[in-house]
Structures are given as C-alpha cells and as structure tokens.
Amino acid sequence: MRRMVWSLMSVAALALAGCNGSNAPDQGNEGNAAAVKADSVSGTITVRGDNAVSPEAKLVVNLVDVSSTDQAGAAPLASKSIAPVQFPQSFELTFNPADVNPADLYVVKTELTDGERHYKMALQAPVLTKGAPNQVSIELVPEQTAAEKELAEFQSLQKQIGGMKISDGTKLEKDVSRAWQVFRQDGQVKFIRGRADYGDKGFTSTDYAYKDGKPWVVVQQKKASQDAKPSSIERASWDKDGNLVLKQVVSGGNTSASLGDDQAASLKQQAQDILKLATGGKGK
C-alpha cells in the first residue's frame, strides 16, 4: 500500500513539472514580443468630418521627445512622409530603443497639408514611456485657411455695422445709378454698402470693408436686376501689405478659388473709388 501511495505522488509531481515546463517557452515568447514592440510605434490616423483630400496632400508623422524645452529643436527619433494619403491611414515608425530615455515623455506628432489647408491633432498622442502604449489612434482636425479667417472676420464686422454711425448718398451717372451707405466707427470708415443699377446691363450689390483707410474685403453680388437672385458672387480680400488673400467665386451653388487677378484688381479699384466718392475725397 505504501509503495502505491508513493507511486501516485511521483506521477503527480511529474505531471506538474511537465505543465510548468510547457509554460516557460510561452513566457519567453511574450518577453521577446515586448522587446520587438519596443523598437516601433504604430497606429491609425483619421480626419474629422470629410476624409477626402486631394492627391497633392502630404502627411508627415514624427516620433518626438517633448519632455523639456531642450528637446524642442531636437531631431525626431523617427519620421515618415506619406503621399498620396488615403484615410484612414495606417503608419509604423521604427527607432533604436537605446535612444529612448524611460524618464522622458514621447509623443507621435502628425502634420497634414493639402494646398492652403492645414490639419492639427485633436489630442496629444503619448507613446512608449510612463505607461503609454506603442499603438495609437490619431484624429486630425482641419484648420481655417487664411482666406477663411479673413471672410469670418469680415462677416463678424457685418454684424456690427448696425451700431455704427451711418450716412448715405446717391449719384446718377450716364450709364449707372449709384446709391450707398457709409458706416463709421471712431471717425473711420469701416464699411460701405453700395448699389449700382446698370439698367438692362444688370445690377450689383457690393459690401466694401476697410482697414486703416485701405480696401480690406470686397463681396460683390451680380444680378440681372435689383430683385433677382445673384447669378454670381465675387469675394476678394487683401492683407496689410496689399497681398491678395481671398479670391473666391460663388456660382451655381459652388465656391471656388477661381477669381482672377484682373477681377480682384477691379474690385479693389471699385473699393477705392466708392470710398473717395462717398467721403468727398477725404477717405474717412
């Protein structure tokens, strides 16, 4: 009986040893997998809203150390440029693990440029250290273009003209009948709303905005008659140095940056002429 008990105990011990032995390689494999992951970060990038970008769009993905201001100008640990881009866009960045300081903070930074449109990250994407993962999901958000910022500022000014000092005038010329309202603030002309009736040749309704006495934004609606719907809308704006920033044409429900330089120059000249006419040459 005693021999049988010892035999059973020996079988159990061997079985347990076999189980422990079979687990050891798996643990080693997991450790090796972690080591492999430690030399790369990966993820997926999406764009909020419409994911469509042009074939000229370029995406740059960087792995950078942001733990101190000393690292601000440092080269990224890894970088990749992707073009053409199709969202959702996957990426992988490989690097030398020896370059990673466990005490530092690392993030994935992405830059997407599509013509004048730039996109920024909705949230920061930390990786590698301080418990951060090696795989991330990044969402990009479109920023306003310079032209869109100008138009938004112009539209904000439009909403304020009701509180400004208002004067008006008219002038009958051979081929056109003109009327206008001038809006002043702090003794300066900020806005002029003009109407020009060319008879059977059409009608224009134009808003002119000024900064420091110079044309800033012009939005002109072209119509067959005063009561007709606009057949087209032209928009132009200039920065403080006189450079053309906004150059849009709205026609058939579509907006495009197709306003030509000659058309923009004509709108600017109109803004200067109506300012001179409405202020008696004073410009204010």
pLDDT for the residue numbered 180: 97
Q: Give the bridge partners for 8, in sequence order.
A: none
CA distance 232 to 206: 12
Nearest CA to 245 out of 276, 211, 279 is that of 211
The CB density around residue 146, as the number of other CB atoms within 10 Å, is: 13
Q: How far is CA 247 from each of CA 98, 100, 109, 221, rounded to the nearest angstrom?
A: 51, 48, 32, 14
Q: What is the mean pLDDT of each run of 10 residues along the chain (284 residues)?
A: 43 43 40 53 91 89 87 82 94 94 94 93 94 95 92 95 95 94 95 96 97 95 95 95 93 91 96 95 86
Q: What is the value of pTM for the model shown? A: 0.69
pLDDT for the residue numbered 68: 73
